[in-house]
Copies of this chain bind each other. A is one copy, B any other.
């Protein structure tokens, strides 16, 4: 997956390979035994590199599971830009949801990989949170975008609240997606959750997608 032939030097290609290999092994081992029962030595050893090298690629063991991508900050900026580029008639909630779409869609596109990843994350309580709302940097970027979009003061509660709400929506819908084995598109669950927020969190009644009725 994601095979794109680019004119990369040997060095770059090897780095990509090593990184991908580490991610793959980390995921497989953690899925088998739980992340706590996998050491960095295990992962590095199986990948044929030293443990020290593992840490040249990932700042922590968790990161090999949570941040397979090279540039999370860049991705966050991309989301922030989409947020600002969304049609003016959308309220911030809807604009945020639209901005998140491509990110959410990736779960459906790389379904198996993400399902495995989440099976690991689910066992460890704090990981799901880290997956979405971990970095202080991430928060800063997105909250700033919301401040711009709304024209509110940077200290206003609203942008931060919305940021956390979106994070909650991601977490809850991803969890449900995982339970359903990915049989329903995450984008649908995500949209349903956003609708719930938009409606002020009324008790749902008979919403097939949410309740999982046939």
A166: shortest Cβ distance to chain B, in Å?
9
Q: Which residue of B lies closest to A179 (CB)?
A: B155
| Main SS at interface, chain A | helix
A178: shortest Cβ distance to chain B, in Å?
11
A173 and B157 contacting across the interface, CB-CB below 8 Å: yes
B169 and A161 contacting across the interface, CB-CB below 8 Å: yes
Return chain B residues, CB-CB under 8 Å to A171.
160, 164
A33 at the interface (CB under 8 A from B): no
In the complex the two chains form, what is the Cα distance from A165 to B196 in whole Å?
A: 11
B130 and A136 contacting across the interface, CB-CB below 8 Å: no
Which of B91, B153, B160, B193 is A157 in contact with, Cβ under 8 Å?
B193
A176 and B160 contacting across the interface, CB-CB below 8 Å: yes
Return chain B residues, CB-CB under 8 Å to A134.
125-126
Return chain B residues, CB-CB under 8 Å to A86.
none
A197 and B157 contacting across the interface, CB-CB below 8 Å: no
A210 at the interface (CB under 8 A from B): yes
Return chain B residues, CB-CB under 8 Å to A179.
155
A residues 143-157 near B (Cβ < 8 Å) are 150, 152-153, 155-157
A residues 115-136 near B (Cβ < 8 Å) are 125-126, 129-130, 133-136
Return chain B residues, CB-CB under 8 Å to A211.
152-153, 155-156
In the complex the two chains form, what is the Cα distance from A153 to B133 in whole Å?
A: 27
Which of B125, B158, B176, B198 is A196 in contact with, Cβ under 8 Å?
B158
A168 at the interface (CB under 8 A from B): yes
A172 at the interface (CB under 8 A from B): yes
Residues of A that sit less than 8 Å from B by CB: 91-93, 125-126, 129-130, 133-136, 139, 150, 152-153, 155-158, 160-165, 167-169, 171-173, 175-176, 179, 189, 192-193, 196-204, 210-212
